Amino acid sequence: MTLAATHHGYFAATQPGFLSPTGVEVAFLLVGVVTFGAAIVTVTTRQLVHAALWLVVTLGGLAVEYLLLTAEFIAWVQVLIYVGSVVVLLLFGLMLTRAPIGRSPDADSGNRWAALAVAVASAVALVWVVVDAFRTTWIDLDGAPAGSTEVTGKALFQSWVLPFEALSVLLLAALVGAIVLSRKAKADAATTTARNGPPVPGTRSDKGGAR
């Protein structure tokens, strides 16, 4: 009994408690706060280009969080696919559709409270699903790390290969859609010019075009 109590006391003394976090835990918390702030700015700013750039900060913060959790494969996938592909695709979509670069008053739909309610409900659902799924999960310390490239790569390309390919097709469809919208706008402008003729110098339309 005494030996067990001594062993328990030694084990508790060598483990960091809740009020004595490690450096990794402090870094995880600080990066999480920065990522959360960047996400808030992403959905509240009225400049589309700034929203895309703040999205880069948000996704980059998530990649750092994955690195702190020793999930290096997911971290680099986050950087390569989301930061290097999705955000670039959004920027190309903004350029091809001639979206306004500056401040856009019509970028806010006025449904902030509904969007906030949906975001809170989604966050609660995700937290509940993760806690319920990993409540009784045991990690094999003798095998490969759970977030390593070997384990994650096998799960991704064996069990999740169809969703992975569906996502790539979806990104390709979004790029093709942006190009189609851009070409349609140019065709409409050319049709209007051919129907009405070029603007006469000194008229109101010419002044508006000059602006």
Average confidence score pLDDT of the chain: 75
For residues 182-196, give the mean pLDDT.
67
44: tokens are 């509240």
What is the rounded CA–CA span in Å between residue 53 and residue 79? 14
What is the rounded CA–CA span in Å between residue 48 and residue 53? 9
pTM for this model (two decimals): 0.57
pLDDT score, position 19: 57
Print burial letters for 22-59: b (CB count within 10 Å at least 16), e (below 16).
Answer: eeeeeebeebeeebeebbebbeebeebbebbbbbbbbb
What is the rounded CA–CA span in Å between residue 203 and residue 47? 32
Tell me the percentage of the chain whose pLDDT exceeds 90.
Answer: 12
pLDDT score, position 160: 80
pLDDT band at 45, cuts 50/70/90? confident
Three-state DSSP class for residue 205: helix
Site of tokens 């989604």: 122
Residue 84 has pLDDT above 70, yes or no: yes
Residue 194 or 15, more confident: 194
Among the listed ranges 40-44, 90-94, 119-123, 168-172, which one has the minimum average pLDDT value?
Answer: 90-94
pLDDT band at 5, cuts 50/70/90? very low
